[in-house]
Copies of this chain bind each other. A is one copy, B any other.
């Protein structure tokens, strides 16, 4: 077991460009530190507004044992409420989703508005002040139909992420013209950081992701200068065309202070969709004027991943359960007017990313099983992994160290 002091030592010993020591991936005390420093101090993706378009619609989100109610208020606002009655602590909502104009605790019928205010409590003693007993709330941001919550006031400004979501995701109509066409949920036996590391590198792609590589143009390193030049030229042409269509092309890279990135890249020439064969999967989303061979990606630490093209998008949400378990929820989105079986087939829409995600989750479970060995020791990243994973790990360590006053800070 790792104590606070051990954590300092672990951080001090970390060697950039190498994988982390075992304790970071397996120890419950490090997981507890992760929860405080990372998961309770950053914005977390929870789901799409199409699940709660109407007043009183809600769904539950479980984050390491905490249950949150994501519910639409009468005023149209999205609220995130702790699913814990202020009377004696009972869970209030028991179903994973539903609709209720008021939230009534099943134990003693304390009744709350969708904004958390207590509006009913029978037989309470003289002097009881309902205003003091509203449900605890988390912060909420909604950007382009995507709902994010923050469990503490320490979370950084959401504005940079919102700006880029508008730039990149808005044309797909996610705010008001998209629906979820399929949801895939699974629990992997792996630390959440191993899942993120996997999602941040494509060194493993060639050995594991035939579906993924069959569509994108950059999956394998170019085999010649000529091939490289060809790709560059195709990319430059495409960027001009996309600009002409009003699509953002200048992505945001990860930098010293950033915790998200996004960009638009090319699928293979001639592809009209991010599908197995490049043929369309579904009607064009949002306000997009025409098909084109682009694939968009958006990553926000620690739990949000979005990928997709002109006719569907997919979001991947990570939520940690324990040091060794992580819940994954993948949702696929199409135009809300598209009719299943007529305009699209779920199997075709989900084919590439479902196969890829299942391959990834097998890889990270094998990774976790090996990392749990006493003989595991950190290894060096390849040139195909180093930059992206290192950015994530450096950000992660900054979270751990920022979460408490360091001795240097105390000296100031």
Partner of A107, one of B90, B94, B363: B363
Choose among A86, A92, A107, A125 the residue with the greatest number of B CB atoms under 10 Å from its CB.
Answer: A107
A108 touches B382 (CB 8 A): yes
Interface residues of A in 171-219 (CB under 8 A from B): 197, 203-204, 206-208
A366 touches B90 (CB 8 A): yes
A206–B375 CA distance with the chains assembled, in angstroms: 45
Shortest distance from the beta carbon of A266 to any chain B beta carbon, whole Å: 22
15 interchain pairs, CB-CB under 8 A: A19-B87, A22-B89, A67-B369, A82-B373, A82-B375, A88-B371, A88-B379, A89-B367, A90-B367, A108-B203, A108-B207, A124-B380, A124-B382, A125-B383, A125-B386
Shortest distance from the beta carbon of A386 to any chain B beta carbon, whole Å: 7
Interface residues of A in 352-383 (CB under 8 A from B): 363, 366-367, 369-377, 379-383
**Chain B residues, Cβ within 8 Å of A123:** 203, 221, 382-384
A367–B19 CA distance with the chains assembled, in angstroms: 42
Q: Which residue of B lies closest to A122 (CB)?
A: B382
Choose among A206, A208, A371, A379 the residue with the greatest number of B CB atoms under 10 Å from its CB.
Answer: A379
Copies of this chain present = 3
A106 in the interface (beta carbon within 8 A): yes
**Chain B residues, Cβ within 8 Å of A125:** 380, 382-383, 386
Choose among A67, A371, A376 the residue with the greatest number of B CB atoms under 10 Å from its CB.
Answer: A376
Partner of A370, one of B83, B108, B208, B370: B83
A376–B88 CA distance with the chains assembled, in angstroms: 8
A197–B124 CA distance with the chains assembled, in angstroms: 17
| A 82-101 to B, binary, CB cutoff 8 A, 1 in contact else 0 | 11111111111010000000
The size bracket of the interface on A is 35 or more
A124 touches B83 (CB 8 A): no
A375–B86 CA distance with the chains assembled, in angstroms: 10
Partner of A94, one of B92, B94, B208, B366: B366
Grouping DSSP codes into helix (H, G, I), strand (E, B) and loop, the A interface class, with mixed when no group exceeds half, is loop
**Chain B residues, Cβ within 8 Å of A124:** 380, 382-383
A287 in the interface (beta carbon within 8 A): no
A91–B376 CA distance with the chains assembled, in angstroms: 10
A133 in the interface (beta carbon within 8 A): yes
A373 touches B108 (CB 8 A): no
**Chain B residues, Cβ within 8 Å of A106:** 207-208, 363, 366
**Chain B residues, Cβ within 8 Å of A380:** 87, 124-125, 128
A3 in the interface (beta carbon within 8 A): no
A6 in the interface (beta carbon within 8 A): no
Choose among A91, A108, A221, A384 the residue with the greatest number of B CB atoms under 10 Å from its CB.
Answer: A108
Closest 4 pairs between A and B when the two form their complex, measured CB to CB: A89-B371, A123-B382, A89-B370, A91-B370
Q: Which residue of B lies closest to A86 (CB)?
A: B379
A122–B108 CA distance with the chains assembled, in angstroms: 62
A66 in the interface (beta carbon within 8 A): yes
Partner of A379, one of B82, B133, B207, B373: B133
Interface residues of A in 106-121 (CB under 8 A from B): 106-109, 121
Interface residues of A in 129-183 (CB under 8 A from B): 133, 136
A90 touches B370 (CB 8 A): yes
A341 in the interface (beta carbon within 8 A): no
